Structure 1
Amino acid sequence: MEKTLTIKWKQHSILPGFGISLGFTMMYLGFIILLPLSMIFINTMAMDWGDFWHTVTEPRVMASYKLSFGAALAAGLINAVFGLLIAWVLVRYEFPGKRFIDGLVDLPFALPTAVAGIALTSLYATNGWVGQYLTILGIKVAFTPLGIVVALTFIGLPFVVRMVQPVLQNLEKEVEEAAASLGANRLQTFMKVILPEIIPALMTGFALAFARALGEYGSVVFISGNMPMSTEITPLLIMTKLEQYDYAGATAIAAVMLIVSFLLLLVINLLQWWANKRHIRD
C-alpha cells in the first residue's frame, strides 16, 4: 500500500492576504528605508580606509559628535522627566484651559523647524524677552551648547507626552486605591504600582525624542551660532561638506552617525525589552 506524501505549502489564517501584505510591506520598507540607507555606505566605499578614518576623526568632526550626542541625550532625559510630569497633569487633573494646553503639546510637530529656531533665538538672545534677564544672572543660552539643548528639548517634548499619556489613561485607579488601603504611601504607590506600568512607554518616548534630536537641523542651526569646535552640530557639518561637493566625506560622517545611533537605539530597545520582561515576571 503506497502512502502519498503531501507537502503543506501554505498555512491558512483567519485573516487572508498575509503573503501579499508582507510582500508590499517589505517592498515599501526596502524602497523607503533600506535603499536610501544603503546608498550612504555605497558612497562611503568610494574612499579608502585611510581617507575614511581621517575624515571621521578630524578634531572638528569629533567635537561635533560629542556635541550632537551629548545635547540629544540631555534633551531626551529632560523630556523624559518633564514629559512624564505634563502627561500626568493632563491625565489626572481637571482645570481651566486643559484642552488648550493639551493642544500646545503638539505645536512642535506642526511648527516648521526653521520658524522654531528663529523664535527660540529671538527669545533667548541677550536682548530677547527671556535672554536679557538670564544674562543678568550670567546665563547665556543663544549661541551656546545650552541653546542647542533648549531647541532639542522643544522639538522632542511631544514624543514623550504622547507615548505616556495613553498608558496613564488606561491605568485603573482601583489598583492605586488598593495599594493605599494596604498601607502604601504616595511615593510607594507611584514607584511600585504606577512607574512599572509606564516605564516601557517612557523609554519609547525617550528613544523617539533622542533619535529626533540627533537628526535635527532647522531649529538648531539658528540658535547654535554654528561655531566650529564649540556649537557646530554634526548635521550642519554634513550639510557644509555637501555644499562643498564633498559627497564622500559627507556620507562617511553620516555613516558613523547612523551606526552609533543604531547601536544606542538597540541598547535602549534592549533595556525596554528587559523592563517589559521584568514587569511581566513580577
Structure 2
Amino acid sequence: MDAKTHRVLPGFGLALGYTLVYLSLLILLPLGGMVLKASELGFAQIIDIALGERSLAAFRVTFGASFLAATINAFFGLIVAWILVRYPFPGKRFVDALVDLPFALPTAVAGITLATLYAGNGWLGQYLEPLGIKVAYTPLGIVFALTFITLPFVVRTLQPVIEDIETEVEEAAASLGASRWQTFVKVIFPAIFPALLTGFALAFARAVGEYGSVIFIAGNLPLVSEITPLLIISKLEQYDVLGATALAVVMLGLSFIMLLAVNMLQWWTANRHKNSEPLEVAAAKAAGSTQ
C-alpha cells in the first residue's frame, strides 16, 4: 500500500489555503479592525455608550423587531414552503418566483414601496389608520419591512427538506389511523425542525443588519423607531467614529451570542433527529397514539 494518503478531491491543500485567505480578507480582517478600533475607547467607555438611553432603545427596536419578523416568517414561511412543494395549482411558478423578489429588489425600493402603501394616505394605510392601526413611521412598520425582506430565507431553506419527505410516510400514518394533525406533529415536524431553525437564524441575522428598507418606513424617531444601524450612521455623520465603532462591536457581540444559541439548539435537534427512529416507525407510533 502506498505510504501517501490520496484524498478524494485533488488540490485540497491549495483550495483550503485559498478558502482561509479569502475568508480572512473578507470577514476576519474587517471585523478584527473594527474590534481593534473600538479598543481605543476601553471597555468601560464602550459599556457607557452601549448603555446610553438612545442606544438601549435602538437595540430594543432592532433585536425585538428582527426576532418578531423572523418568528412570523418561521410560521408563515413553513406554510408557503409546504404549499409550494406539496400542492399543484395555477400560477405556482409565478408564486414561487415571487418568493425570491426580496432578493432581487433593492432594499431602498422595498422601503419606499412599503412606506407608500402604509402611509396615512396610502392604498392600505388609509383604511388601517381609521381602525387605529398605524404602520408607517412606527416600530410596526419596521416589523413589516423586515418580514418582507427575510421571507425567502425561511422558504428556500425548508423547501428541499420538505421535498425529501416521502408522501408514502404520511399515507402510511393515515392508513394506520393517525389524523393529519398527529401525522404533522409526530412525523413531519420533527424532520423539518432543524431546517426551520436554520431558516429562522438566517432571517434573524439578515433582519438585524437591515438598513435600506427600514429607514423609509420607520420614521427614525430616537427612543421610538430608531434602529441601531441608523444610529451608527448618525454617529459617523457627526464624525464620532469611535462611538459608531463601539455600537457596532456591541451589536456584533449580541448577534453572535444569539446566533450561537440558535445554532446550538439546531445542532441538538439535528443530532436528536439523527438518533431517532425512522419516519416509518414514527408514523406507526403516531397512528398508535390514536388507539
TM-score grouping bracket, smaller chain normalisation: over 0.9
SS in 2 for 1:127: coil
- Indicate the residue corresponding to 2:101 in structure 1: 107
Distance in 2, Cα, partners of 1:251 & 1:10: 49
Q: For residues 181 and 237 of structure 1, do their structure 2 counterparts lie closer, same or farther at Cα, with a shift above 3 Å needed?
A: same
Alignment partner, residue 232 of structure 1: 226
2:192 aligned with 1:207? no
1:186 aligns with 2:180: yes
Tell me how far 1:71 sits from its aligned partner: 0.3
How far is 1:178 from its partner?
1.1
Give 1:48 shift.
Answer: 2.7
What is residue 26 of structure 2 aligned with on the other side? 32
Q: In the alignment, which residue of structure 2 is the partner of 1:5?
A: none
The residue that corresponds to 1:21 in the other structure is: 15
SS in 1 for 2:219: coil
Q: Report the identity percentage.
A: 62
Q: Shift in Å at residue 174 of structure 1?
A: 0.8
| SS in structure 2 at match of 1:262 | helix
Aligned CA RMSD, in angstroms, stands at 1.3
Q: Deviation per CA, 1:121-155: give whole Å up to 9, x if none.
A: 00001111111111121100001110000000000
For residue 201 of structure 2, give the secondary structure of its aligned residue in structure 1: helix
Q: Indicate how the Cα distance of structure 1 residues 61 and 18 shifts in structure 2: closer, same or farther if over 3 A, else same.
A: same
Cα distance between partner residues in 2 of 1:93 and 1:15: 40
Partner of 1:143: 137
The aligned amino acid for 2:97 is G
Determine if the alignment matches structure 1 residue 219 to structure 2 residue 193.
no
Structure 2 counterparts to residues 1-282 of structure 1, below 5 A: 11-282=5-276
Moved more, 35-44 or 50-59: 50-59
CA–CA distance in structure 2, aligned partners of residues 48 and 13 of structure 1: 48
Aligned counterparts of 2:237 and 2:100: Cα–Cα separation in 1 = 33
How many Å separate the matches in 2 of 1:218 and 1:9?
A: 57
Shift of 1:56: 1.3
The amino acid across from 1:125 in the alignment is: A
TM-score by length of 1: 0.95
**CA distance in structure 2 between the aligned counterparts of 1:49 and 1:208, rounded to whole angstroms:** 30
TM-score (structure 2 length as normaliser): 0.92
After superposition, what is the alpha-carbon deviation per residue over 1:157-210, rounded to whole angstroms, capped at 9, x for unaligned? 000000111111121111111111222110010111111111111111110000
Structure 1 SS opposite 2:120 = coil
Unmatched 5+ residue regions in structure 1? 1-7
